[in-house]
Amino acid sequence: MRHTPLACVVLAAGRGTRMKSAYPKVLHRIAGRTMIGHVMATVQALDPDHTVVVIGPDMDAVAREVAPLPTAVQARQLGTADAVRAARESLAGFTGDVLVLYGDTPLVQSETLQALITARHHPSDPAVVVLGMRPNDPARYGRLVVSPRGELEKIIEYLDATPDERALTLCNAGLMVFDGMRLFDIIDRIGNDNAKGEYYLTDAVTIARASGYSSRMVEGSPTEVLGVNARVELAEIEHLMQTRLRRLAMDSGATLVDPSSVHLSHDTRLGRDVVVAPNVVFGPGVEVEDDVEIRSFCHLEHVRIGTGSTIGPFARLRPGADLAADVQVGNFVEIKNSRIESGSKINHLSYIGDAAIGAGTNIGAGTITCNYDGFAKHRTDIGSGVFVGSNTALVAPVTVGDQAIIGAGSVITNDVADNALAVGRARQRVLGGWAERFRDMKTGKRADST
């Protein structure tokens, strides 16, 4: 149990100009959730006492995304230390641990953050603890200089590093934990005498040590702290997140026949012995119970699927689709905002919208619930044990009673009672010999025209 109070400062003021987007970069989505949404969920797992998100001017959309948490505005982008300084008022009087992290690092995990916080309480009482990493390509990351005793001596930005310092493989991952009592004293002493003329938060280590304070480093995974500055990086992190989510799903007892072709959302819930065929997309809000089979080329979003059901192939389940146990949904079926009770079948080429379908009902191929009149949506209620013949249009609002039968090709505009037969189509007429006369007429016309 954590005894020291914790505050989290999430830096999210970057515009992400290389994204070439009208939206702040932290609002771009990974696995159906904004990047900053991922970060805030990870922060929430730490149960902090205070959280503040630092945003730029005119970033009201980011403020709405993180609400009801408070935001602080960094008026000008003068560097990471300046961004933390913008949170001073929100942290007034706070003397616990202060974790600084970034809104565009959606892969970071709470265990890594907790390791940083734990290291802040090393017997040496460090004023700052930094997350380090050893990427395969150190590239332009800042380098960490660590003493033989494990003390972090300084962080050197790549542009300011000597060739020998650039040869170091231990790099700055950007995340830090400060002692809240010493944080702003350190921040206020950071200058901008560097290659970019910015106030670097990384200078906090040098200033802390010059003040006689200890600094330490915790090494973590380079993957977790990957940020996003361009669309290509957004796609790379989506790939990494999908790999993580697929592994979690399979470790929890689901079978993904071809994992690389299945797209999951951050909140997808797959039960035990669920089988997912190739090329299936799970949007946000999908819960699948045990022993469900989802066949290829299905798309699901904000739906619940009961135990033992079979979905697809080529089915689309839209928001509000709620399927009980042992439901069969076949190819080219679309369901929206509808409750389907246990044992019912909708196997071919049908649209069910704003409806309730009772247990053990069979919906024939080509059935449509006509739920929209051009102005408003209306409900269709179909009872249990109903047989709906193929190519039926149910014009809502309409109710079909238990055990009723609807003749194929019907247009149903009035309620149907329990156990009734409803047929809503024109009487068939048969004109003997008409087809032969028609062909002769057409053939004769062609002959006359040659």
Question: For the chain, what is the mean pLDDT?
Answer: 94
Render pLDDT for 84-120 as a digit per residue (tens, 0 to 9): 999 999 999 999 999 999 999 999 999 999 999 999 9
338-347 average pLDDT score: 98
pLDDT tens figures, 375-386: 999 999 999 999
CA–CA separation, 302 and 285 (whole Å): 4
Q: Quick one: pLDDT band at residue 159, thresholds 50, 70, 90?
A: confident
Q: Say how far apart CA 448 and CA 450 lie, in whole Å.
A: 6
Per-residue confidence (pLDDT) for residue 16, from 0 to 100 = 80
Q: Is the pLDDT of residue 2 over 60?
A: no
**pLDDT digit string, tens, across residues 425-444:** 888 899 999 999 999 998 88
Burial of 111 (0-12, 13-18, 19+ CB in 10 A): exposed
* pLDDT at site 288: 98
Burial class (CB in 10 A: 0-12, 13-18, 19+), 65: buried
- pLDDT band at 157, cuts 50/70/90? confident
Domains of the chain: 6-225 (3.90.550.10), 231-422 (2.160.10.10)
Share of the chain above pLDDT 70, in %: 98
Residues labelled catalytic? 348
At 182-198, the pLDDT tens digits run 999 999 999 998 878 88
- Model confidence over 40-59: pLDDT tens digits? 999 999 999 999 999 999 99
Tally of residues, the chain? 450
Residue 446's pLDDT band, with cuts at 50, 70 and 90, is low
Q: What angle do CA 12, 160, 81 make, to 5 degrees?
A: 30
Which pLDDT score, from 0 to 100, does residue 448 have? Answer: 61
Instruction: Please give the pLDDT value at position 125.
Output: 95
Longest dimension (CA), the chain: 109
Residue 4 pLDDT greater than 80, yes or no:
yes
Quote the pTM value: 0.91
Contacting residues for 316 by C-beta, under 8 A, at least 6 apart: 298, 299, 300, 333, 334, 335
User: Residue 285 corresponds to which tokens in the numbers above?
Assistant: 């809000």
SS3 letters across 80-131: HHHHHHCCCHHHCCCCCEEEEEECCCCCCCHHHHHHHHHHCCCCCCCCEEEE
pLDDT tier, 390 (very low <50, low <70, confident <90, very high otherwise) = very high
Closest CA to 177 of 122, 133, 113, 235: 113
| pLDDT at site 149 | 85
pLDDT at 17: 85
Q: What is the pLDDT of residue 135?
A: 93
Range 319-330 average pLDDT: 98
246-278 pLDDT tens trace: 999 999 999 999 999 999 999 999 999 999 999
